Structure 1
Amino acid sequence: MKLPLPTLILWAIALFVTTIFCWILGDIIWHGIGQISWQFLTTEPRNAGREGGIAPILISTGLILGVCMAVSLPLGVGTAILLAEFTSTENAFGRLVRRSLDVLAGVPSIVFGLFGNALFSIKLGLGFSILSGGLTLACMVLPILIRATEAGLQTVPAEYRLGAAALGLSRTTTLWKLLLPAATPGLVVGLVLGIGRAIAETAALIFTSGYVDRMPESLLDSGRSLSVHIFDLAMNIAGGDANAYASALVLLILLLLVNSIATWTTQLWL
């Protein structure tokens, strides 16, 4: 059967995107798989990162991401509930907040980096630290998380709310037992997109968490994330390409693990 031209165009676009993705993924695996070892994952960088491993980099990345999620999740879900359940679409405050979130979602990461440096590093006195980097990433993730969760809540049929009210359920019970589980797909989408943006961010972290590649002792220590490490090895360190490819492969594996864990946790909760 002959396919219509629009269908052929859509299939061609999908095939093109898939090919580009497979080419990039294959290139990273081809150049990076030989460097991956237990020693690479558990030792500190040496010779400006040309030798050694990425253990402090992994710890710093995990701490930055942990700070980001600890701040953005409660704020994001709470704000989404406020907008979806307690603020009508005609409300001026609601329109202002939604428009502001849409604008913030498109702001370049370098702007967030300068903002985080001015507010968290300088004004609040946190300096170049893991805490500054995590708080800056939380500001970046919040618009995506809020809008995705709000969209998920808005897709829940109104009959759920009416039925809960008819049964005499409290607003809190309705939210926790009915609305949030039904809106879980939107929450997971926002969470995965937010984590993906946070864990792969470079520009914002250069101005907030810094370049230091030693093992952090607290959240107030400077820490280098994986994305910053890859950038530094690829752009500033001659002979650092091999470890840069290996670090990029580890970053991709981490993203895959995060997506899998988010999906598994969602299914377990449901």
Structure 2
Amino acid sequence: MAETVPVKSAGIHRDRFAQLTIYIAAFMVCAAFVWILSDIVRGGVAHLSWSFLVDAPRDAGRAGGIGPILVSTVLVLLVALTAALPLGWMTAALLAEYVSADSTFGSAVRYSLQVLAGVPSIVFGLFGNAFFSIYLGMGFSILSGGLTLACMLLPILVSTGEAGLRAVPDAYRLSAAALGMSRKTTLFHLLLPAAAPSLAAGLLLGIGRAVAETAALLFTSGYVDRMPGSLLDSGRTLAIHIFDLSMNVSGGDASAHASALVLITALLLINIAAMRLTAGWQRRKIVPE
């Protein structure tokens, strides 16, 4: 009995040390976020106003606002999600529910996605410029930039969607089969709602990647800061605008900080809205009324 006490004491100390380490790591992550956010707020909040959100930029962005920039950003994001979401989630459902985990076809698709995820964004930009802008004749346009971003989002959407579907317990599938439900009905009415958190996580990661992208869009959507008239017009996204003000425009730091503050605020609002919509969707689909 005397030898048991030191062993238990050592185990308690190890648990406390591990817990303290986790708390310190979480605190450092939060501190880094607060530090970055406070720096952006301090540099850009004085420049932020309603006119800044709706006016067109003037004097290379030093004056005016970001109205056309916001419109171009939203359009590029909508094009990317419209093209990538159906293809990505259908591929995830195919890999998780209709293809064996150790099949040659499934392994080839997963390997292709891993390679695609590791390709630098500048390479996507060169590909988008060569294929969408030049070969398909779209030029420097919002459509070309959005389709290039869609190619970049596919690995994120497919991997998170497949992981979420595979995490759904097999009891769902067995119960549906016992009730005579088809595989399509089971997928849309049971599995996808159960995997909604993973799908939402992939969607949020994709939105964050698309909104913050610069290198790929420099070669596809272009650099023009005027209001786009159609999807075939060139349009400067918010990330490119921040990059240009910070690197190429002297005296543009205040506008760059204000634009970055708008970008972070938009991402936070999108995250909050997506999490609430996902929680509501799960309650409606899984919990009987």
What TM-score comes out, normalization by structure 1 length?
0.97
Q: How many residues align?
A: 270
Quote the residue 2:191 is aligned against. 179
Task: Letter of the 1:193 partner, please give it.
Answer: L
SS across alignment from 1:137: helix
Q: Tell me how far 1:12 sits from its aligned partner.
A: 2.7
In the TM superposition, what are the counterparts of 1:1-270 in structure 2 within 5 Å? 4-270=16-282
Residues 242-264 of structure 1, C-alpha deviations (whole Å, 9 max, x = no match): 00000000000110121122112
Q: Tell me how far 1:105 sits from its aligned partner.
A: 1.4
SS across alignment from 1:208: coil
Task: Letter of the 2:271 partner, please give it.
Answer: N
Distance 2:19 2:28 in 1: 14
Q: Tell me how far 1:11 sits from its aligned partner.
A: 2.9
Quote the residue 2:4 is aligned against. none
Distance 2:280 2:141 in 1: 35
Task: Letter of the 2:219 partner, please give it.
Answer: F
Instruction: Tell me the C-alpha RMSD between the 2 structures.
Output: 1.3
Q: Tell me how far 1:117 sits from its aligned partner.
A: 0.8
Distance 1:90 1:9 in 2: 38
Residues 87-130 of structure 1, C-alpha deviations (whole Å, 9 max, x = no match): 11110010011111122112211111111111111111101000
Higher mean C-alpha displacement, 199-208 vs 11-20: 11-20
Distance 1:242 1:152 in 2: 42
Distance 2:42 2:16 in 1: 38
Distance 1:41 1:81 in 2: 40
Task: Letter of the 1:203 partner, please give it.
Answer: A
Residues 151-184 of structure 1, C-alpha deviations (whole Å, 9 max, x = no match): 0000111111111111111222111110100111
Distance 1:14 1:186 in 2: 22
Distance 2:249 2:28 in 1: 33
Distance 1:216 1:109 in 2: 24
Higher mean C-alpha displacement, 2-11 vs 58-67: 2-11
Residues 217-260 of structure 1, C-alpha deviations (whole Å, 9 max, x = no match): 00000000000000000000000000000000000011012112
Residues 6-60 of structure 1, C-alpha deviations (whole Å, 9 max, x = no match): 4333333332222222111100011111111110001000000000000000000
Distance 2:273 2:87 in 1: 21
Unpaired runs of 5+ residues, structure 1, are none
SS across alignment from 2:101: coil
SS across alignment from 1:61: helix
Kindly name which structure, 1 or 2, has the bigger radius of gyration based on alpha carbons: 2
Q: Tell me how far 1:69 sits from its aligned partner.
A: 0.7
Identity across matched positions, percent: 63
SS across alignment from 1:161: helix
What TM-score comes out, normalization by structure 2 length?
0.91
SS across alignment from 1:140: helix
Distance 2:231 2:34 in 1: 37
Q: Tell me how far 1:268 sits from its aligned partner.
A: 2.9
Q: Tell me how far 1:66 sits from its aligned partner.
A: 0.3
